[in-house]
Structure 1
Amino acid sequence: MSFNMYVPTKILFGAGMLNQLHEQVLPGKRAMIVITNGKSTRANGYLSRTEEELKSAGVESVVFDKVQPNPLKATVMEGAAFAKENGCDLIVALGGGSCIDSAKAMAVMATNDGDLWDYIGSGTGKGQPITNKPLPIVAISTTAGTGSEADAGCVVTKPETNEKLGLKTPLIFPVLCIEDPELMTSVPKNFTAYQGFDALSHSLEGYVSKFANLMSDMYAITAIENVGRFLARAVKDGNDIEAREHVAFGNILSGTVMCVGTTSSQHSLEHALSAYHQDLPHGAGLIMLCRAYFTNIIEKHVCDERFIGMAKAMGMEEASEPMDFIKVLNKLLEDCGVADLKMSDYGITPDEFSKMADNAMGPMGGLFACDRVQLTRKDCISIYKKSYK
């Protein structure tokens, strides 16, 4: 039942909240705005609106626009150098999870010496303490997926070693989060589904983790209700603001689940997939794995009542057995048009599963300690095989 809760981020939630950025007390006067290397942030006017809001608040800004969908260490280091060269004292992350994660890592490296991997505590990271306070971060989310806009972690890939690892420290909580569903209406159907399943997975995993507690349960089950019941609507009609709001709300709650509880080994298994295949969206990888992963837990009967509870939260009021959760999960996948995603479409082959299992259990193995039943290497390979198409 015990928990430790510290979530200091100020959250402005709701349609139109970007318009209130200029009214906030901002922790700097020269901002580096971090966006992805795509076109949507500019094309949809989100960048120009953010620049104007900052200008109205008396904050100058420069733009760093090179972040990839699965952010790379080299890009983080380049962004940190850019922030230093331009004398930035504030980082504004404008985008989805990869953008916000990158901004957090850049905030650390803009004020600390060496390489990002010096401060990573697992894999080939050196686990050194962060000696200088990172630059303050304002997170403006344009997707509902990772919850990174209001949590204390970030995930970055080092392709040279195929490591997709997390850095978690209270020092990188954003000081301000703007969660404006109006900025999410332009997200395409498939990415709305991918991102929504990422948010949902954080809470599904958190609810069945052995570190679930009274506080994480409250956040997780509410997130499961909001994402589970509204994601298909958001996918069907991107301009359905009510649906977008509920999914975005679930996303914020799922971020908090990771602050007061934890996720589980499903995330490690997926990180191994996208560590080797950069073009695989994280949420798509979770979709591929989720049925086999959660079925494996159900078959162990370690928390049957929790799976029944999650099925009810997602809309199956009559749920009475754990496998009802798999039924409602599969229905959501079908309703979102992503039930048949194929690993093979991203170049993944079955002969990689052994090295991926080793990768998941090695550099990214910390989350396995959060499982109620310890997965073996054989279990991991089996989950990959059952998920393969």
Structure 2
Amino acid sequence: MDFQYFIPTKILFGPGKLNELSKVKLPGTKALIVISGGNSMRKYGYLDKVQCLLKENGVQSLVFDKILPNPVLSSVMEGASIAKRECCDFVVGLGGGSSIDAAKSIAVMAINPGNYWDYISGGSGGNKPVSKKALPIVAITTTAGTGTEADPWTVITKEDTNEKIGFGIEDTFPILSIVDPELMTSIPPHLTAYQGFDALFHATEGYIANISTPLSDIFALKSIELISQNLSKAVKNGENITARTNVALANTLSGMVESTSSCTSEHSMEHALSAYHPELPHGAGLIMLCESYYSFFEDKVAEKFIDMAKAMGEDVDSLPEHKRPHSFITALKKLIKNCNVEALKMSDFGIKEDEIPKIAENARNTMGGLFTLDRYTLSLDETIEIIKNAYK
């Protein structure tokens, strides 16, 4: 019973909560709204609505709309330059995890000198301390995947070196997050699945990490349960607001897991995959890795695996004791099939088997810190083995 708890974010959660943006206390009077380079925020009217609600609340806004699905360093620096030039006093991340992550990084660089990579601790990062307080961040999530609305983490790729690395400080916790499941009904089925599995693995990794706490365990098991019961329903019927709400809650809980525990090396491996192949959706990469990854760890964290299997609804107690941990893998495969993502192949995203040693080394060099949070220390050869076993 030795842990710290710090999540300073005010969260407005529930269908229709976006409307409260017109009256909730905001941290400034001029916002840079950060969105993706796609058209969904405009197509579904989310951007217009946010700008109107901000205006009702006395806030001017301008839009930066160049964020990629795997956000990159050059966009962070460009967005920060605009925020400085236009004297924005806070940043709004509107959309999925990529937009909110980029908003966090932009908020840091709108105030601090130099290049964002100066402050990154992994890979070629400069590991400098952040000297000035970042601009306040408001997160409005339209997806249920990253949990970034309830944690300080942001993941950005340095394009020229294929380094995809996480970063977070106290200032990159959003001061306000709005989680409105009504904004998630437009997500297509395959993306609903990818995002939901990302949330699931934040919870499962946080549960088996060697720094998990009693509090993170509570968040994790509830998140795992909610996703197991509701994700396939949301995939099959995106308008099912009850399923959407439960998956959204699971996602926010998984963000709280990230704030009180951590991811493990599974995420390092996927970040390396999508650093070299940015067209690979993060959640899809995790789905392809998961059976191989968790099969490797099941006998090393047996009791935790039994707990996760129970949270996913498996009748563990009826099995012989030595087979109980594998029930989690069984449940995982069922959920993957029920969400219609069992046919994913790395080769479909241009990944070649002979790249795997390079990808494994990248995972260990850029986000090696997550390998230290596993309950078993993986070697490079074992890392390669896990990715090779997942390759198909």
TM-score range, shorter chain: over 0.9
- CA–CA separation in structure 2 for the residues paired with 1:213 and 1:92: 31
How far 1:303 moved relative to its partner? 2.1
Task: State the secondary structure of the residue aligned to 1:139.
Answer: strand
Amino acid at match of 1:234: A
1:313 equivalent in structure 2: 311
| TM score, norm. by length of structure 2 | 0.97
Amino acid at match of 1:346: F
Contact 1:118 1:125 in 2 (8 A): yes
2:136 equivalent in structure 1: 136
Out of 309, 326, 330, the position equivalent to 2:329 is 326
How far 1:184 moved relative to its partner? 0.3
- CA–CA separation in structure 2 for the residues paired with 1:284 and 1:260: 25
Contact 1:3 1:261 in 2 (8 A): no
- Deviations 1:17-72 (CA, angstroms, capped at 9, x unpaired): 00111111100000111110001110101001100110000000001100000000
- CA–CA separation in structure 2 for the residues paired with 1:303 and 1:347: 33
Counterparts of 1:214-225 in structure 2 under 5 Å? 214-225=214-225
- CA–CA separation in structure 2 for the residues paired with 1:351 and 1:296: 21
- CA–CA separation in structure 1 for the residues paired with 2:70 and 2:142: 16
2:72 equivalent in structure 1: 72
- CA–CA separation in structure 2 for the residues paired with 1:43 and 1:363: 36
2:362 equivalent in structure 1: 359
Q: Which moved more, 1:379-388 or 1:172-181?
A: 379-388
How far 1:317 moved relative to its partner? 3.5
- CA–CA separation in structure 2 for the residues paired with 1:266 and 1:244: 26
- CA–CA separation in structure 1 for the residues paired with 2:236 and 2:30: 40
- CA–CA separation in structure 1 for the residues paired with 2:121 and 2:377: 22
1:370 aligns with 2:373: yes
2:341 equivalent in structure 1: 338
1:125 equivalent in structure 2: 125
- CA–CA separation in structure 1 for the residues paired with 2:149 and 2:305: 28
- CA–CA separation in structure 2 for the residues paired with 1:63 and 1:317: 50
- CA–CA separation in structure 1 for the residues paired with 2:56 and 2:208: 46
1:153 equivalent in structure 2: 153
- CA–CA separation in structure 2 for the residues paired with 1:2 and 1:98: 33
Unaligned runs of 5+ in 2: none
- Deviations 1:54-112 (CA, angstroms, capped at 9, x unpaired): 00000000011000000000000000011112111111110000000000000000001
Contact 2:84 2:110 in 1 (8 A): yes
2:162 equivalent in structure 1: 162
Task: State the secondary structure of the residue aligned to 2:120.
Answer: coil
Contact 2:316 2:327 in 1 (8 A): no
Contact 1:2 1:214 in 2 (8 A): no
2:187 equivalent in structure 1: 187
1:382 equivalent in structure 2: 385
| Count of matched residue pairs | 387
Contact 1:70 1:278 in 2 (8 A): yes
Counterparts of 1:101-112 in structure 2 under 5 Å? 101-112=101-112
2:17 equivalent in structure 1: 17
Amino acid at match of 1:383: I
- CA–CA separation in structure 1 for the residues paired with 2:209 and 2:174: 26
Kindly report structure 1 stretches of 4+ aligned residues shifted beyond 2 Å. 317-320
How far 1:318 moved relative to its partner? 4.0
Task: State the secondary structure of the residue aligned to 1:271.
Answer: helix
- CA–CA separation in structure 2 for the residues paired with 1:307 and 1:384: 20
- Deviations 1:335-375 (CA, angstroms, capped at 9, x unpaired): 00001201011100011000111111112110000111111
- Deviations 1:185-212 (CA, angstroms, capped at 9, x unpaired): 0001000000000000001011111112
| TM score, norm. by length of structure 1 | 0.98
Task: State the secondary structure of the residue aligned to 1:65.
Answer: strand
Q: Percent identity?
A: 53
Amino acid at match of 1:218: I
- CA–CA separation in structure 1 for the residues paired with 2:2 and 2:238: 39
Task: State the secondary structure of the residue aligned to 2:63.
Answer: strand
Contact 2:150 2:259 in 1 (8 A): no
- CA–CA separation in structure 1 for the residues paired with 2:114 and 2:246: 41
Amino acid at match of 2:158: K
1:197 aligns with 2:197: yes
- CA–CA separation in structure 2 for the residues paired with 1:240 and 1:316: 25
- CA–CA separation in structure 1 for the residues paired with 2:263 and 2:228: 17
1:302 equivalent in structure 2: 300
How far 1:302 moved relative to its partner? 2.4
Contact 2:107 2:134 in 1 (8 A): yes
Q: Over aligned residue pairs, what C-alpha RMSD do you find?
A: 0.9
How far 1:213 moved relative to its partner? 1.5
Task: State the secondary structure of the residue aligned to 2:160.
Answer: coil
Counterparts of 1:197-346 in structure 2 under 5 Å? 197-298=197-298, 301-318=299-316, 320=319, 321-346=324-349
Amino acid at match of 1:144: A
- CA–CA separation in structure 2 for the residues paired with 1:260 and 1:330: 27
How far 1:386 moved relative to its partner? 1.1
